[in-house]
Structure 1
Amino acid sequence: MAPTRSMADIANTAQLVSLWLTTKRSKESHRAYETDIRCFVAFLLGQNPQQVRLNDIDLRTVTINDVQAFADFLETHRTKTGKPLAPASRARRIAALKSLLNYGCKIKYLSFNAADDTLLPKTKDRLAERILREVEVMTMVALTTNERDKALIQFLYYTAARVGEVAHVRWRDIRCNRNGQGQVTLFGKGEKTRTVLIPKKVYQALTKLRSPSDTLDAAVFKSRKGGEPLKERQIRDLVAAAALKAGIQGKVSPHWLRHSHASHSLDRRASVQLVQQTLGHSSLHTTSRYAHAKPSDSSGLYLPE
């Protein structure tokens, strides 16, 4: 859990950013978040992001106009290749700034969030493109011969866990229930925890990974060299390799298996409330997107041909 701090503990922007990053579970994303904030600082100073320091501005002096001007700049900005920034990239930078300023308000370092009313750029909903077919998931599992990698893919699919959650799973988080199924406690976004059931077959595959020397604090998914916990990047690479071997097109990531879990379980009549609980969504609206991503019916089918 991130430490509770107050305005008295923070003297400048760099300290605020550093503390804010501790609330982000994925350490691999810390650099991206910091880069987004650095881009904002560079914009205000009219300099190159690589030449500025976070302390070159005081966030307490940032105005609503500053944030809106930054959003306008991102809309017209061109990359080194001459292409405009993708809407998703623009949205991520604005979202990062919103999150930082909101955190600054939460700990009373800032008096208000200057980015609160700034709208995020609309992005194309590519959810349907990132949902695998059931046969594709089963092919990924079937063609993966390494026991650890096979169990990893099954775990991702059947628990719908995020990659950051999987990287932090320890043996103390997994246990067997009275029905012979497994259950895992996942530590997700916003320091929320949830318990998810694991099918018997997958639970049995997991138990085979545990060596006699593994303590309760040992990682479930470890690297072959040194026995260190698999990093998020390694998990992504393993999933991408399994998808490639299965002949699946696209840059398949662990999150695709999470999307697929939601879509497939809804297709098989699981309630949207149950899927929401399993995925750890705070909003039912978020979960409902999966029901619309692959519709089985449409009013257009009722029209004359």
Structure 2
Amino acid sequence: MSELTPARLAEEYLDYIAGVRRLSPCTVRAYSRDVRLYLEYSQVQAVSFPPDRRGLRGFLGFLHRNGLSPRSINRVLSALRGWFRYLQKREIISVDPLAEIEGLKTNRRLPEFLFAQEIDKMLSFEEDGFTGSRDHLIIELLYSTGCRVSEAAGIQIKDIRVAEGRIRVLGKGDNERFVYLGGPARKVLGEYLSFREALLRRRGKDSLQGGVFEGNLLVNQNGGALSVRSIRNIVAEAARRAELGKHVSPHTMRHSFATHLMDKGAGIRTVQELLGHSSLKATQVYTHVELDRLRWVHAKAHPHGSKNTPDRGSNTKDEIS
């Protein structure tokens, strides 16, 4: 037990969330950075382990003095909470040191989303063979399914149920769910699969299953799996080409998917399931988005509304018609 130093315990925890819980590499890197920041502070300040309330309050003061926002401080606390709970389960510590320390209050940011007309603009570009068809599919796929960019990048051919219009995706924590393709997405998917097959034949990728090339749905020009970064760049380029005047990411498409569902009367628990949220709390932000939209429409359309309300986009007439 003497060899189980805080640093060693931290490394074991990070291995656990990466290898057992299968959290995303981005989340693992963030947790690693936050836990190691605490370890450096505790070593310099000679904070006992496990820390007491006073030691943790000192760490929070250190973060504040170094300019971290309340949101960033809460992220650090979240990483430490996960670590301490892991140590409790292993019976390394008996009490969670953060049990009585609450997160800082923050102003909740509403997610950015696009109007349907803006998404139509992103999809109105001329297709050019394999690349154009694939990029078109990416926009349709993200908007039709609401899946995360990592989920889209990980879709395998065997996961697609074309006749049923659905795709099995692997979400956070290796949780599986089905997402659904609308008519336009299914049409573009069929066209893309033809281009994909021709490309893989040219590249000598002869791994066939049931007459269909298996592997990742989204591939690059060399036939390899398309990276998350490439998907982000494709989405950003589509928005630039459509002259939307705003930064658009795959997560913007996911927010648009959820917002438009709520706007058309979908229940919050249905949206939760489609998004793959483990907690309803994560989905409730979209009720705020809808209230914000209704407030904006009232301000613009009602004779006694606030005429100083800034425009939310280029589709103001469509929004209040």
The equivalent residue for 1:80 is none
Aligned with residue 41 of structure 1, among 39, 42, 45: 39
Q: Distance in 2 between matches of 1:144 and 1:136?
A: 16
Compared CA separation, residues 17 and 285, structure 1 to 2 (3 A): closer
Could you tell which deviates more after superposition, 32-41 or 211-220?
Answer: 211-220
Asked if the contact 2:110/2:288 (under 8 Å) is kept, the reply is no
Q: TM-score, normalised by structure 2?
A: 0.75
| Matching residue of 2:313 | none
CA separation of 1:173 and 1:106: change in aligned 2, threshold 3 A? farther
Out of 6, 11, 15, the residue aligned to residue 14 of structure 1 is 11
The number of residue pairs the alignment matches comes to: 277
d(CA) in 2 for partners of 1:37 and 1:25?
16
Residues 106, 193 of structure 1: alpha-carbon distance in 2 compared, 3 angstrom cutoff: farther
Match of 2:220 among 199, 223, 228: 223
- Alpha-carbon distance in structure 2 between the residues aligned to 1:269 and 1:41: 48
- 1:162, distance to aligned residue in structure 2 (A): 0.9
Structure 1: distance between partners of 2:71 and 2:58: 18
**What residue identity is the alignment partner of 1:137?**
I
Shift of 1:40: 0.9
**Which of residues 169, 185, 202 in structure 2 aligns to 1:186?**
169
Q: Equivalents in 2 of 1:16, 1:285: separation in Å? A: 26
Q: Secondary structure at the match of 2:278?
A: coil
Aligned ranges 1:230-245 → 2 under 5 Å? 230-245=226-241
Give structure 1 stretches of 5+ with no counterpart.
1-6, 48-55, 78-83
CA contact (8 A) 1:98 1:115 kept: yes
Seen in structure 2, the aligned counterparts of structure 1 residues 25 and 61 have a Cα distance that, compared at 3 Å, is closer
* Rounded Cα–Cα distance in structure 2 between residues aligned with 1:182 and 1:109: 49
Which of 256, 260, 263 is the matching residue for 2:259? 263
Match of 1:90 in 2: 73
Deviations 1:183-240 (A, max 9, x none): 1112112332111221233123224234264556501112223x22222222222222
Partner secondary structure for residue 61 of structure 1: coil
- In structure 1, give the amino acid aligned to 2:157: W
Query: Which whole-Å CA distance do the structure 1 matches of 2:171 and 2:90 have between them?
Result: 22
Verify: 1:158 aligned to 2:144, yes or no: yes
Q: CA deviation at 1:161?
A: 0.5
Q: How many Å apart are 1:303 and its aligned residue?
A: 11
**Which secondary structure state, in structure 1, belongs to the residue aligned with residue 284 of structure 2?**
helix
**Cross-structure match for 2:97:** 114
Does the CA-based 8 Å contact 1:144-1:242 persist in structure 2?
no
Q: Which residue of 2 aligns with 1:132?
A: 114
Paired AA for residue 36 in structure 1: D
Residue among 53, 77, 82 paired with 1:99: 82
Which amino acid letter does the alignment assign opposite residue 68 of structure 1? Answer: R
Tell me, yes or no, if the aligned pair for 1:156 and 1:166 is still in contact at 8 Å: yes
Cα deviation for residue 266 of structure 1 reads 1.3
**Structure with the greater alpha carbon radius of gyration:** 2
Amino acid at match of 2:155: V
From 148, 157, 160, the equivalent of 1:171 is 157
Residue 257 of structure 1: how far off its partner (Å): 0.7
Give SS of 2:123's match: helix
Gaps of 5+ in 2: 306-321
- 1:62/1:232 CA distance change after superposition, 3 Å: farther
Map of 2:25 onto structure 1:
27
Question: How has the CA–CA distance of structure 1 residues 251 and 46 changed in structure 2, closer, same or farther, with 3 Å as cutoff?
Answer: farther
Indicate the SS of the match to 1:196. strand
Tell me the distance in 2 between the aligned counterparts of 1:280 and 1:219: 21
RMSD: 3.1
3-state DSSP of counterpart to 1:85? coil
Alignment partner, residue 52 of structure 1: none
